[in-house]
A = this chain, B = another copy of it.
Amino acid sequence: MHATSRLCAEVVAAIKTVVGHDKQQLHEPRFKGNESRYVQDCIASTFVSSVGPFVNRFEDELRTLTGAAHAVAVVNGTAALHIALLLAGVKPGDEVLLPALTFVATANAVAYCQATPHFVDSEVGTLGIDAFALREYLLANTVIQDGVCVNRASGRVIRVLLPMHTFGHPANMEALLAVASDFHLRVVEDAAESLGSYIGKRHTGTLGLLGTLSFNGNKTITTGGGGAILTDSAELGAKAKHLTTTGKMAHRWEYTHDTVAYNYRMPNLNAALGVAQLEQLPRFLSQKRALFNAYAAAFAGVRGVQLVHEPQSCTSNYWLQTLLLDTPDAAVRDALLDATNAAGLMTRPAWTLMHHLPMFRDMPRAPLPVAESLALRLINIPSSAGLVEAAT
């Protein structure tokens, strides 16, 4: 307990060295650009709803930023995932592979498709799905029949592999794409947390068949609520637009629809905020990297925890800064959470792992030793852009 008390004191001190003595939230948005101006312009135009120039501009700029051929702006990242999974061909009764270590929206979106989430393990290096463990697991537990991957135990088709880029750190997509190819899985990337994160020169969310982004209030940029679907396929891009706009057919005055569809379009008001926020993304990313560097210096002398850094050959957006305890220990983790929050520094453990939630407890899963361990080791610390100014 003496060692734990000392660790708590050192962690609080290290964070304060970087962020100062004010209270800090985990992640706050910054509105120092054209937010007010664009939102005023939007209101003055009267086009505040599901049609308007800011939505189109926001999508154009997302395309430019990510390199995706098509971007469709929607009400939030959960809606983006729902549609991306439908477009990837997920059908009722299918299974979808996703990490147990993720936010609940990833698994919920699978459930919306009446499909079964099937949880797989993560790796320490990226905090994303462990491609090598996945390959071993699929070799032992699936069979390819008629060109699709079948779960031997359940007899169900495993249709999609759904990696998530945890806290903005890119998963090992090269290895995951190879597994997906070998096992006939389509790939949808949950890039909700990784706007501005790259694998080599490719933006996260553009390596699979479809990818999704989130612009919730706690993300690197925000539209209030918002998300986007990314794809290079013209056909899927058009379908994404159609499915997110109630499936309405173009006509001068008729209201006709050709499929059960969704009211998921991002309102122009929210897109106006998003356009202003995107203008500041390069600065936010520099500031978040500067914050990582400052934390790295402050934690260099702290024994017992390490700061998570971007994976090799990747550029992370450093959305959430993360400490990893050297050893998994719930008591030490909770002591650190108590000490930091009591000091006015908002910190948070990993999400409760998906297979521990009551509604997903009975879903199929691979052995999850690393996810279980990470859940006892992970602590997110204050991560807002601008806590440390970027060197210019």
- Residues of chain A having any CB pair with chain B under 8 Å: 28-31, 35-36, 39-40, 43-44, 46-51, 75-79, 103-105, 108, 111-112, 114, 216-218, 222, 224-225, 246-248, 252-263, 265-270, 273, 337, 341, 346-349, 351-352, 357-359
Chain B residues whose CB sits within 8 angstroms of the CB of A359 once the complex forms: 257-260
A265 to B347, CA, bound (A): 24
Kindly list chain B residues whose C-beta atoms are within 8 Å of the C-beta of A79.
Answer: 263
Known: A246-B104, A270-B267. A352 touches B256 (CB 8 A): yes
Q: Which chain B residues border A44 with CB–CB below 8 Å?
A: 31
Q: Can you add 17 more A-B contacts, CB < 8 Å, to A29-B49, A75-B75?
A: A36-B40, A48-B217, A50-B225, A51-B217, A78-B246, A104-B246, A104-B255, A108-B246, A108-B263, A217-B267, A225-B267, A225-B270, A253-B337, A255-B351, A255-B352, A257-B357, A269-B270
The CA of A30 and the CA of B222, in the complex, are separated in Å by 26
Chain B hits for A31, CB < 8 A = 43-44, 46, 48
For the complex, what is the distance from the CA of A259 to the CA of B39, rounded to whole Å? Answer: 36
Taking the full assembly, how many copies of this chain does it contain?
2
Could you say which residues of chain B place their CB within 8 Å of the CB of A48?
A: 29, 31, 217, 222, 224, 273
CB atoms of A105 and B246 under 8 A apart: yes
A276 to chain B: closest residue by CB: B43
Smallest CB gap from A247: residue in B: B104
For the complex formed, measure the closest distance between the CB of A96 and the CB atoms of chain B, giving whole angstroms.
14
Given the complex, which residues of B lie within 8 Å of A346, measured CB to CB? 253
- Inter-chain CA distance A226–B175, complex, in Å, is 42
**CB-based contact A263/B78 at 8 Å:** yes
A78 to B258, CA, bound (A): 17
Pair A224/B103 contact, Cβ less than 8 Å: no
Contact check: which of B40, B217, B253, B255 meets A341 at CB < 8 Å? Answer: B253
Chain B residue, CB-CB nearest to A51: B217
